[in-house]
Structure 1
Amino acid sequence: MSPLGVYLHVPFCASKCPYCDFYSLAGDESAMDAYTAAALAGIDAAARVFAPRRADTLYLGGGTPSLLGAARLGALIGRARSAFGLSDAEVTVEVNPADGLRPLFDSLAAAGVGRLSMGLQSAVSAETAFLGRRHTPQQAADAVRDARAAGIGNISLDLMLGIPQQTAESVEQSIDFCAALGVDHISAYLLKVEEGTPFARRGVGALCPDEDAQADIYLRAVELLGQRGYRQYEISNFARPGRESRHNLKYWNREDYLGIGPAAHGCVGGARYYFPRDLRGFVENPAAVLSERDDEPLALEAVAARAAKGATGPEALGEYLMLRLRLAAGFDYRETRARFPAFDPSPLPRAAAPMARAGLCQINESGIALTPRGFLVSNAVIARLLDALPGAIY
C-alpha cells in the first residue's frame, strides 16, 4: 500500500490571532507535557492499528508547534519515526517568526526536520499589526536566514490576501519580500472572517475589499507569483519546481493520512475521522476519535478495516474529483478511471464548455482543470461539473 501521511495537531499559541478559527489555547509547561505524553501514546496506538504501513510525510501544525520547544518536538518526531519509518520523508514544522530561533532550528534539523512553514501573513507592518501578529518583517527575514544556517532549506511562507486597506501594491511588496528571501513555497490565502472570531465580532468583514476587489488582488497575486518563479499548483499554494508540499498533496489527491491530536482530522481508505476540539479529552484518551460522517465514536480498528477494503463508490468518486479540482492540474480521465473503474467522463466536456468559454476552466482530451479565475468561484464550478455525473455524491 502507498505510504501514509501523519499530521500532529499542536494546540498551543502564545496569543490568539483575531482572525483564527483553528483550535488553540494558551499552554503552560504542565499542559504541554501532558499533551506530549498523550500524543506519544496516540502515535503508538495508531502504529499498532495500521502496522505495517509506513509514512513518508510528517506535518506538525497548530497552533504554534514551536512553542513545545526542542525536547518535546524531538520526542514526537522520534516516536513517529520509530513507529512509521519516515524513510526519505518530508518532515514539516509550523513556526511563527520570532527572535532567537536558531537553537530551535539546530535541534529540529538534527531531528530530521527538512521543511518549515512560517506564518508571515504580510511584509507590510500596518497589515501585520491589524492582523494581530507579534513579529516584524525583519524578524521573519532573520528567522528564514537562521533556518537556512541550521540546514533547513525548504521554507514556506504564508501570505494573507484581502486584508482591510490592502492594495495590489502592498501585495506585491509582500511577494517581493518572500522572493528576495529565496523561499521555495508560498501559501497565499484570501482572508475569511469566521464566525465566533474577534474579527467577526468587530465587523471586520465589512472593512475588507469587496468581492471584485478581492478577486483582483488574488489574480494579481497569482500573476506576480508566477513571474517570480512560483508555479500555482493549488488554489492557495505556489511553489518552485519540485518544492510542492508532499504532505498537503496527500489531502488533495485523496491519499491516506493519519491525524493525531485535539481537532486533528484523518482519512484512511475513505474513512474520515476527527478528534474533538478538547485537549483534556485527548489527554485522557489519545485514541478516542469520531466519525466525520455522523459525529459518532469510531474505533481506529474500524478505520483500518475500511481502508483494507478500499472505497470506489459514487461518494468516493465525487470526493476525489472535488479535491482534485482544487489542484491546478485538475483531474485526468485515465487516472480517475484507474481508481474508479465505473467512472464515465463523457458528460463532463459538455457541462464544462460554458465555463471554459467564461475562462473558468480548461478542457483537453485528457481531463479538466480550473483556471485561477475559476478558483475564485470553485464551489459553483465544481458543483456544476459533479451534477453532470449520474450518481456522483459530494
Structure 2
Amino acid sequence: MTGIYVHVPFCLRKCPYCSFYSKPYDADTASRYVDAVCRNIAAYSYKGINADTLYFGGGTPSLLDAKQIGSIVEECRKVFLLDTAEITLEANPCSVDEEKLRGYRAAGVNRISFGVQSTDDNRLGFLGRLHDFKTAVKAVETANAVGFENISADIMLGAAGETCKSLIQTIDTICSLPVKHISAYMLKIEEGTAFDNDNIRNLTANDDLMSELYITAVDRLDMHGLKQYEISNFCREGYESRHNNKYWTGEDYLGFGAASHSFFDGVRYCCPPDTDAFIDAPVQPREVTEESVNRGEEYILLGLRLCKGISLDRIKCYFGRYAAERFLALAQEFSKHGLVKINSENVSLTPQGFLLSNGIISQFIDAVIG
C-alpha cells in the first residue's frame, strides 16, 4: 500500500527555528492551492494505486477549513480508495476550535498531531509559537471530546533555559492529557533560519546537555507507557504513525503540493518549493532527486532509525556473506560501548546510539561496501 502526503505550505507566522518551506497564509491563495492539489490527485485516476495512509503536513495544515480538507480527502478516496486509512492532520493549537475539529473529524481525519512543544510559556515565546500552553491543553482536550482517539503531540528539547527537571515537568504534564503518541525533537539550528546566529546558539542546549535531555525524555516517556519506536517517536501500544513508518521501511509514498517529496517505483522526486508555480501548472512540476536508489544502503540508513533495527539476514541478501560478517563485527564493537544491541540476528541502536546515529550508520555503510 502507498502513502499519500499533502504539503500545506501556509503559516500565520514562520517559527524562527523552522527550515521547511512555507508562505504567509492568504485565503484566496489557499483556496486555489486546494483546487490544484485535488487536480493533481485526480491525475492519478485509473492508475490502480491503492493507499492506506494520508498525511497533511506543513506549514500549518489546520489553517485550511474542514471543507477544504474534506475535498482533498474525498478526492483521495475516489482515486486511491484509502482502505482502512490512517488520515493525519498536523495542527497548531491556536488555529483550531471545537467547530473546526468536529469538521475535520466528519471529513475523515482520524489522527491529529498538535505542535505543543513545551508546557512553559516563556519557552514557547522563545520558540516563536503563537499559542500558550493553556491553549494547547484546550486544543488537545477538545479534540478528544469531539472524537479524536488518536492524538499526537510534538515536544521540543533544548530551547533556552531547558533543564532535565523542566523537561520532566513538560513530559509529565503532557502525558496527563489524552495523547497516544509523542514526537520529541532535539532543537537544531538550521542554516538560513532566524535562529541561525551565535546569540541563539549560546542560549540553547549544548551537545552535553542535549544528550542528557534526550536520555531523560526516553526514560520518562517509557515510565508513562509511551515506548520508543523510532529516534524521535514514542507511543502507547498500537499507536505508531503508520504513515511515517512508510518512510523508514522503504515503502512507496506520493507527495502533492509545493515542496512535497515522493518515493515511487524506486525513484525519489520532489515538487519544487514554489506555491505559485504549483497552482498554475496543469500537473505539478517534478524534479528527480535520486533516480536509482540503492536498496541495501537505504535499508541500513532508514532501518537503524527504528528501535526494532535491521536484520543480519537481509544485510547478507543485499551485500553478501562477507559484508554481513563485517557488519556484525562492527556491531559487536559498538555494543561494547552501549551503542548497539544485537538480539536474535537483529541489530538496533540504543538511545545512546541514536545520539550518534549519523556517524554509526555511516560506518556500517562503509563496512558493507568496503
2:339 to 338, 352, 360: 360
Q: How many Å separate the matches in 1 of 2:115 and 2:95? A: 14
Select which of 182, 192, 195 maps to 2:178: 182
Paired letter, 2:303: R
Residue aligning to 1:331: 310
1:387 matched to 2:366? The reply is yes
CA RMSD of aligned residues (A): 1.7
User: What is the CA–CA distance in structure 2 between the aligned matches of 1:79 and 1:57, rounded to whole Å?
Assistant: 14
> What's the counterpart of residue 58 of structure 2?
62
Per-residue deviation at 1:335? 5.1
- Give the partner amino acid of 1:135: H
Per the TM alignment, residue 269 of structure 1 is displaced from its structure 2 partner at its CA by 2.6
Q: 1:335 to 1:150 in 2, by over 3 A?
A: farther
Q: Distance in 2 between matches of 1:47 and 1:197?
A: 39
- Give the distance between the partners of 2:192 and 2:284, measured in 1 at CA: 28
Amino acid at match of 1:40: C
Aligned partner (choices 329, 336, 347) of residue 326 of structure 2: 347
What is the SS of the residue equivalent to 1:389?
A: helix
Aligned pairs (5 A) from 1:105-124 = 105-124=101-120
Aligned to 2:133: 137
**Equivalent in the alignment of 1:281:** 277
Letter in 1 for 2:215: L
2:21 aligned residue: 23
Partner Cα distance (1:6, 1:206) in 2 = 39
1:131 CA drift (Å): 0.5
Q: Paired residue for 2:234, among 230, 234, 238?
A: 238
Partner deviation per Cα, 1:161-188 (whole Å, 9 max, x = no partner): 0112100011111111211003100000
Residue 171 of structure 1 aligns to which amino acid in structure 2?
L
**Cα distance change on mapping 1:47 and 1:326 into 2, 3 Å:** farther
Structure 1 329/205 Cα, relative in aligned 2: closer, same or farther at 3 Å? same
The amino acid across from 1:354 in the alignment is E
Q: State the one-letter code of the partner of 1:327.
A: L
Deviates more, 1:380-389 or 1:185-194: 380-389
Per-residue deviation, 1:117:
0.6
Corresponding residue for residue 261 of structure 2: 265
In structure 2, relative to structure 1, the CA distance for the partners of 1:220 and 1:185 (3 Å cut) is same
- Partner Cα separation in structure 1 for residue 198 and residue 327 of structure 2: 43
Q: Match for residue 303 of structure 1?
A: none
Consecutive unaligned residues in structure 1, runs of 5 or more: 295-305
In structure 2, C-alpha distance between the alignment counterparts of 1:374 and 1:270, rounded to whole Å? 29
* Structure 2 equivalent of residue 302 of structure 1: none
Q: CA 1:99 to 1:323, structure 2 compared with 1: closer, same or farther past 3 Å?
A: closer
TM-score (normalizing by structure 2)? 0.95
The amino acid of 1:293's aligned partner reads: E
Q: Distance between the aligned counterparts of 1:6 and 1:342, measured in 2?
A: 34
Which stretches in structure 2 are left out of the alignment for 5+ residues? none
Supply the distance in 1 between the matched residues of 2:251 and 2:214 (Cα, whole angstroms): 28
Q: 1:373 aligns with which of 352, 355, 369?
A: 352
- Which of 187, 190, 194 is the equivalent residue of 1:191? 187
- CA shift, 1:206, in A, is 2.4
1:336 is displaced (CA, Å) by 5.5
